[in-house]
């Protein structure tokens, strides 16, 4: 009886709007894929003996390894998948689902600017400093590591 009721209500529901979900989540997915590819590049550079720490002017005492980059990228991938599944469930149950992607973006921004000494704070602060140097490039000299 419960199965029959579930089948009837499923047939009466509107179809899930996949295109809206893809549009809302694609920018964050591109960021995560880019993060994974940076980790893979560092693996390749290390295996061929390229000193990327010197080339990109990283601090040799506090730079993160490819394992830590891929670990952070996999954590962000897991959070992305959970957020997308919650989006689909909200869409299925006719709840307001568009806020779910904004919550995910705010969570990523919070993780980036988190002042606690977790998740490689020195690397996050270096990334924020480099982003500032990229966006303020017209006002100072640009070095090789800035681009």
Domain presence at residue 117: yes
> Domain total for the chain?
1
Q: Which domain holds residue 48?
A: 16-146
* pLDDT(117) > 60: yes
> pLDDT at position 147, please?
62
Q: Is 54 within the bounds of a domain? A: yes
User: Considering the domain boundaries, does residue 56 fall inside one?
Assistant: yes
Say which residue, 131 or 37, is predicted with more confidence.
37
User: Who's near 83: CB < 8 A, 6+ residues apart?
Assistant: 25, 100, 101, 103, 104, 107
Q: Is residue 33 part of a domain?
A: yes
> Does a structural domain hold residue 6?
no
**Strand runs (DSSP E) across the chain, as ranges?**
none
Residue 75 CA to residue 71 CA, distance in Å, equals 6
**pLDDT tens digits for range 34-67:** 999 999 999 999 999 999 888 887 878 778 899 9
Dist CA 111 CA 129 (whole Å): 15
In this prediction, what percent of the chain has a pLDDT beyond 70?
A: 88
């Amino acid at each position: 009886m419960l199965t029959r009721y579930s089948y009837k209500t499923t047939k009466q529901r509107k179809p899930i709007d996949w295109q809206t979900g893809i549009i809302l989540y694609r920018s964050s997915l591109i960021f995560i894929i880019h993060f994974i590819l940076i980790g893979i590049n560092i693996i390749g550079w290390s295996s061929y003996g390229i000193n990327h720490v010197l080339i990109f002017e990283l601090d040799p005492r506090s730079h993160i390894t490819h394992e830590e980059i891929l670990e952070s990228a996999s954590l962000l991938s897991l959070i992305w998948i959970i957020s997308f599944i919650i989006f689909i469930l909200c869409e299925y149950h006719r709840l307001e689902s568009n806020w779910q992607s904004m919550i995910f973006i705010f969570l990523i921004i919070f993780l980036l600017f988190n002042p606690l000494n977790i998740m490689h704070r020195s690397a996050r602060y270096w990334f924020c400093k480099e982003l500032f140097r990229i966006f303020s490039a017209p006002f100072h000299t640009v070095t090789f590591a800035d681009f």
